[in-house]
Amino acid sequence: MVIGAGGLGCEILKILAISGFKNIYVIDLDIIELTNLNRQFLFRKKDIGKFKAEIATEFIKEKYPEINLKWSNRKVQSFPPEFFSQFNVIIGGLDNMEARLWLNEMIHK
Residue 75, domain CATH: 3.40.50.720
Tally of structural domains, the chain: 1
- Per-residue pLDDT at 21: 96
Domain carrying residue 31: 2-107
- pLDDT tens digits, the chain, 109 residues: what are they? 999 999 999 999 999 999 999 999 999 999 999 999 999 999 999 999 999 999 999 999 999 999 999 999 999 999 998 999 999 999 999 988 999 999 998 888 7
- Per-residue pLDDT at 96: 87
- Per-residue pLDDT at 64: 97
Specify the pairing of strand 91-92 against strand 2-3.
Answer: parallel
Helix axes 52-63, 7-18, angle to 10 degrees: 20
